[in-house]
Amino acid sequence: MFGKKDTNLTPETVTKLLEKVIDPELEKDLVSAGMVKDVQIDSGRIRIGLELPTPAWEPKALLEQEVRRVVGKEAGDRKIELAFGSNVRVSRPGQSAGQNLVPGARNLILFASGKGGVGKSTVATNVAAALANLGANVGLLDADIYGPSIPTMLGTHEKPEVSGQKLIPVNRYGMKLMSIGFIVDPKEAMTWRGPMLNGALIQFMRDVEWGDLDYLVLDLPPGTGDVQLTIAQNVKVSGAVLVSTPQDVALADVTRGKAMFDKVDIPILGVVENMAHFVCTSCSAKHHIFGKGGATRLAKELQLPLLAEVPLEVSTRESADAGRPEVLANPNSGASQAFFGLAKKVATMLAKKAAAGGIKASGGLKIIQ
């Protein structure tokens, strides 16, 4: 009815058609990119199995649309069924012997800022929850030993169990979590000295049963101090995301943050402008409470990509306080759209980096849909 009826369609001819669909990120057709894993045809259906480099692959929706369009022209009355799987690769090459804590994490992403209160924890928890929601295997580590936010923002104060020498992470919203706030009263951790603090962080990386993770997200304390150095010395990081609000004072700290990460050889993925604007609920006008476009200008100056502009929204703050990330509580809000976009952008950047390095994933294909 819609396309030309072709009763002679074979898996080979369908595969030929898939050579016409180009992945815009890899700049290759689906067959050359190795994404086509399965083609089956019967009288009523064409089934196509595609393997993506990450379940959060930015062009996923576009690829689906293109496959349906190109194959649809020849499919006759057959229904097209698409199944997506993913095989997330390791983007942490060159792990030296001293940097091999959390070896099971294929990607390790830091969320950092020069200053507190800019929304680092909010962005980190929402990106982690977005990645998990899209089908990835995610761990979230609260590296802010003095000011842990994860127990509140994820709504759990469950004590992690111990198995042998290992701590079992707390499971919440399909993610594995660890925070000092699960173990001691935060007031007690406040009195700790530097070495104890570093010791706790190393334990959270080395002695937690993280298992095989597609992404381990680290929510860092503000500033450019000990914790950042401990991380740089003990784990190989895929990249850091710098979070800022648009004011000049916050932006000056981003410059400092970049200098620090450059010094310890941690690649910076880009800048996120949080609380970029407020959309008036009665008149829908955008108000730039903290100034306009500051992070955009700074990103340009520092030659870093601006990864997302997250609006200031009452619901985002309410969700954080209620212990349910905004991307799960209100997936269609403006902030959630920005968080999902950010999660996909970061995952896609890392997947491209891994593909360029030709590093093989340790595990097999995982079916996500």
Ligand X SMILES: Nc1ncnc2c1ncn2[C@@H]1O[C@H](COP(=O)(O)OP(=O)(O)O)[C@@H](O)[C@H]1O
Residues in the site for Mg ion, rule: CB under 5 A?
A: 120-121, 149
Binding mask 257-296 for ligand X (x = CB under 6 A): -----------------xx---------------------
Q: Which of 54, 133, 149, 336 binds ligand X (CB under 6 A)?
A: 149
Match 């030709």 to its residue by tokens.
358
Do the beta carbons of residue 90 and residue 235 sit within 8 Å?
no
Q: Under the phi-then-psi rule, with left for phi > 0, alpha for psi from -120 to 50, and beta for the rest, what region is 353?
A: alpha
With 0-12 / 13-18 / 19 or more C-beta atoms within 10 angstroms meaning exposed / middle / buried, residue 202 is middle
CA distances from 181 to 96, 125, 316 (A): 30, 15, 22
Which CB atom, from 175 or from 275, has the smaller least distance to ligand X? 275
Binding mask 2-21 for ligand X (x = CB under 6 A): --------------------
Binding mask 291-310 for ligand X (x = CB under 6 A): -------------------x
Question: How close are the terminal C-alpha atoms of the chain, in Å?
Answer: 28
CA distances from 118 to 71, 263, 279, 334 (A): 47, 23, 18, 18
Binding mask 309-328 for ligand X (x = CB under 6 A): -x-xx--xx--x--------
3-class secondary structure, 124: helix
126 in contact with ligand X (CB under 6 A): no
Which CB atom, from 78 or from 115, has the smaller least distance to Mg ion? 115
105 binds, among Mg ion, ligand X, none (CB under 5 to 8 A by kind): none
Q: How many helices (H) and strands (E) does the chain have?
A: 12, 17
127 in contact with ligand X (CB under 6 A): no
Q: Which of 117, 194, 211, 357 binds ligand X (CB under 6 A)?
A: 117
Which CB atom, from 57 or from 111, has the smaller least distance to ligand X? 111
155 in contact with ligand X (CB under 6 A): no
Residue 74's closest CA among 102, 105, 41? 41
Q: Which of 88, 118, 342, 351 binds ligand X (CB under 6 A)?
A: 118
Neighbouring C-beta atoms of residue 265, cutoff 10 Å: 10
Instruction: Give the binding site for ligand X (CB under 6 A).
Output: 113, 116-122, 149, 274-275, 310, 312-313, 316-317, 320, 335
